[in-house]
Structure 1
Amino acid sequence: MTILIPSYEPDVRLLNLVLQLQTFQLGPIVIVDDGSGSGYRGIFETAEAYGCTVLTHTVNLGKGRALKTGFQHIKEHGPQGGIVCADSDGQHLPHDIKRIFDVLLEQMTPGIVLGSRRFSGTIPARSRFGNTVTRGVFSLTTGTKVYDTQTGLRGFPFSMLDWLCQIPGERFEYEMNMLLTAHKEGYEITEEFIDTVYLDHNKSSHFRPLIDSFRIYMPILMFSTSSVLSALIDFGLLFVIQYFTHNLFLSVVAARLCSSIFNYTINRKYVFSAGKTTRVRQSLPKYFSLVILVLLLNYGLLYFYNEKLIIPLIAAKLLTEVSIFVFSYWAQRRFVY
C-alpha cells in the first residue's frame, strides 16, 4: 500500500496528517510538491524527515500532473500494492483513508474506490452547489450514478497505474476525466462514504471556480459543441432537401447521414478519444448502429410533433434534438468509443 498526497502550498495540517497516518502503518507515503516555492520548503523537508518521499515540481503544474507524477514514481519504484490518494488540507481524515485501504484489500476486480462525502451539516455554498450540479450532469451524461464526483480521496490497485498515467488532463479536470473513462476501460466505481470536513469554509482550496469548472466540464462542453454543429448541418440540410423533394422521410435520412459522418469524425478524434483515437473498424459499426436507432427516434418524434401535435417544423425539429441529446451522449460514451 502506498499513500499519495499531491500538495500545493500546504500548512502544518499536512505534517499532522503524515504523523497520524504513520500510526496506522499502512505503507510508504509519497508527497508531490506541485511548485509550492521556497516558502514551503521547510514543511516538505520536515515531511522527508518523517520518512516520506517528496517529489518536486519546480513550478505549479496542476493537481492532475502532480497525481500522474506520483503514479509514475510508484509504478517505477513500488511497492506493488494499492494506492490511496488523499488531499493535504485536512479534509480527509486518517481513519477514512484507512477505510479506503481496507476496501481495496477486499477488491475482487480492479476498480476505483471513492471516499464519498455525504455533504451533511454546514457545507460552504459553492461546494454544495458545485457538487450537486456536477453529480447531476455526470449522471445524465454517463448513465452512472456517483454521489461525490469531486472527491480527492480515491483508491486504486497497482494494475491500474498504466491507465492512470495516460488519462488526459493536468489540473482538476483530470479527476473528472478519470471517472468519465473508467467504464470504457471496464473499471467499476465503488463508493465508501466518509466524513465531510470543510475547514475555515474551505479557504485552503486551490480550486478556481470559473477556470477549473470549465476544465472539468470540458468533455461535456465538447460533446455539446459537436452536437450543436451536427444539428445545424442536419437542420439546414433537412429544409433544403425537403424543399426540393417534398419527402419528409427522405429529407430526414439524407440530412442525418451527412451530419452523422461529421459528428462521428469529430467525436472520435476530439470528444471521446481520452488521449487515444479508437480504431474506425471498432467504433464505426457501433456508431452507425446507433445512428439508425437515433434516426428512427428522430423521425418518430419529428413525425409525432409535426404531424400529430401540429407543431411547426422548426419547433418540432428543436424539440426532437433536445429529446435525444442526452441519450446520444450516454450511448456514445458507453458503447461506441
Structure 2
Amino acid sequence: MNILIPSYEPDERLLFLIKQLREIGSFPIVVVDDGSGEAYSQLFISARGLGCTVITHNENKGKGHALKSGFRYFMQKGVTDGIVCADSDGQHLPQDIMRIASSIEEHNHPIVLGCRRFTGKVPFRSRFGNTATRLVYTFATGKRIYDTQTGLRGYSADMLDWLCRIPGERFEYEMNLLLEAPAAGYSFHEVPIDTVYLDHNKSSHFRPIIDSARIYAPFLKFSISSLSSALIDILLLALIHFFSSSLLLAVLGARLTSSIFNYTMNKRFVFDRDKPSAIRISMPKYFALVILILLLNYGLMHVFNERIGVPLLVAKLLTEAVLFIFSYWAQRKFVY
C-alpha cells in the first residue's frame, strides 16, 4: 500500500495523521506541499522526520496538480501496490484509510471511494455541494455515486498513467476523474466511512464560487452550447413554419442548421478540447445521435402541439427540456 496526501497550508492534524498511520505500518507515505510557503516549512520538515517523502511545489498549483505530482512520483518508482489518497485536514481517519487500502486488493480494478453518509451536524456547504455534484454526475453519466466530493480514494497502480492524463489542476480534477472513468472502463466500489468535520470544516481551502464553477464547467459549457443552439433552432423553426406552414420542414431545417453549430461548439469547447478525436469518428456518431433526437423531437412536438394542443413555442421548449439531459449523457458517453 502507498499513501498520497496533498496538502496546502496544513496544521498539526497532518502530523497527527502521519503518526497514527506510522503506528499501523511502515508503508510509503508521500506528502505534496502545494506551495504552502515558508511559514509551513517546519511542518513538512517534521513530516520528513516521520519517514515521509515530501514533494514541494514552489507555488500553489491546486489539488489536482498536487495529486498528479504524487502519481508521477509513484510511476517513476515503479510501484505495484495500490495508492490511497487522503486529505491532510483530519477528516479521514486511519481506520478508514486502511479499509480503502484493503478494498483495492479485494476488488478487481475499481476506483475505491470512501463515501461519507452525511449524518449528524454536517456544514451546509458540504451537504449542499455534494448533493449538487451528485445530481450533475447522475445527469452526465447515468450512474449514481453517493459521495462525489470525497477526497478519500483508492487506485490500483496500473491506473497511474491514466490518472495523470485527466484534465484539471484544482478541485475540478476529482470530478473530471469520475466523469472520465466509465469511458475508460473503470468501475467504482463505494466504502462507507465516518463523516468528520472539525470546526465546521474551516480548514478546507475550497472556494465555493470559483471552485464550484470549475467543477461544474463541463455541464455549464454544455448548457451554454445547447442554449445557443436551441435559440438558433427556435428562431429558424418559427421562420420556416411561418413561411411554409409545414411542421416537418420547419423541424428538419431548424435542427440541421442548429446541429451543425452545436457539433462545432461541443467538439471545440465542451467535450473534445483535452483529447481531440478525429472528425471522421465523432461526426458520424454525432449526426446519428442528431437523427435519433430529431425523431424524438418531432414525435414529442407532434404529441404536445397537434395532439394535446400546446402552442408551438411552448411545445418546443418542453421538448428541448426533455431531450437536454439525454443529449449530454449520450455525447459524453458515445460521441466524444
What TM-score comes out, normalization by structure 2 length? 0.97
State the Cα deviation string for residues 10-56 of structure 1 (Å, max 9, x = none): 11111111111122226200000001110110000000011100001
Say yes or no: does 1:199 pair with 2:159.
no
Question: Given residue 127 of structure 1, which amino acid in structure 2 is its aligned partner?
Answer: S
Question: Given residue 277 of structure 1, which amino acid in structure 2 is its aligned partner?
Answer: P
Say yes or no: does 1:48 pair with 2:48.
yes
State the Cα deviation string for residues 123-170 of structure 1 (Å, max 9, x = none): 111111111122122212221100000000011111111111111111
Say yes or no: does 1:69 pair with 2:44.
no
Contact 1:104 1:113 in 2 (8 A): yes
Alignment partners' CA distance in 1, 2:94 and 2:273: 33
Say yes or no: does 1:172 pair with 2:171.
yes
Shift of 1:274: 6.1
Question: Given residue 66 of structure 2, which amino acid in structure 1 is its aligned partner?
Answer: A
Alignment partners' CA distance in 2, 1:171 and 1:36: 15
Say yes or no: does 1:312 pair with 2:311.
yes
Q: Which residue does the alignment assign to 1:18?
A: 18
Structure 1, unmatched stretches of 5+, are none
Question: Given residue 31 of structure 2, which amino acid in structure 1 is its aligned partner?
Answer: I
Alignment partners' CA distance in 2, 1:288 and 1:253: 13
State the Cα deviation string for residues 45-104 of structure 1 (Å, max 9, x = none): 000011100001111111111111111111112322211100000100011111111110
Shift of 1:324: 0.7
Contact 1:181 1:274 in 2 (8 A): no
Deviation larger for 57-66 or 240-249: 240-249
Alignment partners' CA distance in 2, 1:79 and 1:136: 35
Q: Which residue does the alignment assign to 2:121?
A: 122
Alignment partners' CA distance in 1, 2:39 and 2:98: 31
Change (3 A) 1:5 1:128: same
Shift of 1:212: 0.7
Alignment partners' CA distance in 2, 1:69 and 1:120: 33
- Percent identical pairs in the alignment equals 62
Alignment partners' CA distance in 1, 2:213 and 2:89: 23
Mapping of 1:208-219 within 5 angstroms? 208-219=207-218
Contact 1:2 1:26 in 2 (8 A): no
Aligned with 1:184: secondary structure? helix
Aligned with 1:91: secondary structure? coil
Contact 1:168 1:274 in 2 (8 A): no
Alignment partners' CA distance in 2, 1:230 and 1:211: 26
Alignment partners' CA distance in 2, 1:197 and 1:176: 21
Alignment partners' CA distance in 1, 2:30 and 2:47: 10
Aligned with 2:192: secondary structure? strand
Alignment partners' CA distance in 2, 1:148 and 1:175: 12
Aligned with 2:111: secondary structure? strand
Alignment partners' CA distance in 1, 2:165 and 2:265: 21
Say yes or no: does 1:295 pair with 2:294.
yes
What TM-score comes out, normalization by structure 1 length? 0.97
Mapping of 1:1-337 within 5 angstroms? 1-25=1-25, 27-108=27-108, 110-273=109-272, 275-337=274-336
Shift of 1:293: 1.2
Shift of 1:266: 1.7
Alignment partners' CA distance in 1, 2:243 and 2:83: 62
Shift of 1:281: 2.6
Structure 1 runs of 4+ aligned residues shifted over 4 Å read: none
Alignment partners' CA distance in 1, 2:325 and 2:216: 15
Aligned with 1:183: secondary structure? helix
Alignment partners' CA distance in 2, 1:268 and 1:24: 49
Contact 1:86 1:92 in 2 (8 A): yes
Alignment partners' CA distance in 2, 1:88 and 1:279: 42
Contact 1:166 1:275 in 2 (8 A): no
Structure 2, unmatched stretches of 5+, are none
State the Cα deviation string for residues 181-223 of structure 1 (Å, max 9, x = none): 1111111122111111001110100011111111110010011
RMSD of Structure 2 on Structure 1 (CA): 1.3
How many residues align? The count is 336
Deviation larger for 278-287 or 224-233: 278-287
Contact 2:267 2:273 in 1 (8 A): no
